[in-house]
Structure 1
Amino acid sequence: MTLTDNKPRLRWACRRGMLELDVLFMPFVEEAYDELSIENKAVFERLLVCQDPELFAWFMGHETCEDKELNAMVQLILQRVKV
C-alpha cells in the first residue's frame, strides 16, 4: 500500500522534524493533495522521502532541487500555501 491510498499515513509522513516544513506540508495535504493527478501524488510521495535539511533548503530558496519533478512539486506547494 502506498501513502496515496492511505490519507492518515500520508498525514503522518508529512509531520517533520522542522516546524517550517510542517507548516507547508500539512495545509497542502488537507487542501490540495486530493486534486493532484496520480502522477503528481507519486511525486509528492517521493518528496516526503527526502531529508528535512534538503527540503528546508529547497523550500526556503537556499538551493534548487536538481530533480525537475521534485522541483516542480516544491514550487506547486509554495504557490498553493501562499494563496
Structure 2
Amino acid sequence: MENDIEYKRLIWHSRRGMLELDVLMLPFVKEVYPSLPEEDQARYRQLIECEDNDLFAWFMQRSRPEDPELARIIDLILQRVQPG
C-alpha cells in the first residue's frame, strides 16, 4: 500500500505543466519506471526534484546535467523516444 501511494506521488510530481516535459516524463514514469532497477528509480526520483528550465534544456539536448547520475536517467528517457 505504501509503495502504491509513493508511486502515485511520483506520477503527480512528474506532471510538470509544460507539454514538452509531460509527454516525456509521464509515459516514462507510467510505462518504464516500475521495471527499472532500484538505482535508476532513485535517479528518476532525483530528476523530478530539478527545475523545469533545466529539465527542458536537458531533454531538448541544449545542455547536459553536470551530475552523471542525472545524465544517465535523461539518456534513458530520451532513448525511449529516440531509439537507435
Instruction: Tell me the TM-score normalised to structure 1 length.
Output: 0.89
The percentage of aligned residue pairs carrying the same residue is 49
**Structure 1: stretches of 5+ with no match in the other structure:** none
Give the 3-state SS of the residue equivalent to 1:6 in structure 2: helix
| Structure 2 counterparts to residues 1-83 of structure 1, below 5 A | 6-82=6-82
Residue by residue, what CA displacement relative to the aligned partner does 1:47-68 show, whole Å, maximum 9, x if unpaired? 0000000000000011111110
**Structure 2: stretches of 5+ with no match in the other structure:** none
Q: CA RMSD in A?
A: 2.0
Quote the Cα distance in structure 2 between the aligned partners of 1:14 and 1:43: 13
Quote the Cα distance in structure 2 between the aligned partners of 1:56 and 1:47: 12
Instruction: Tell me the TM-score normalised to structure 2 length.
Output: 0.88
4+ residue segments displaced more than 3 Å: 2-5
Quote the Cα distance in structure 1 between the aligned partners of 2:70 and 2:26: 17
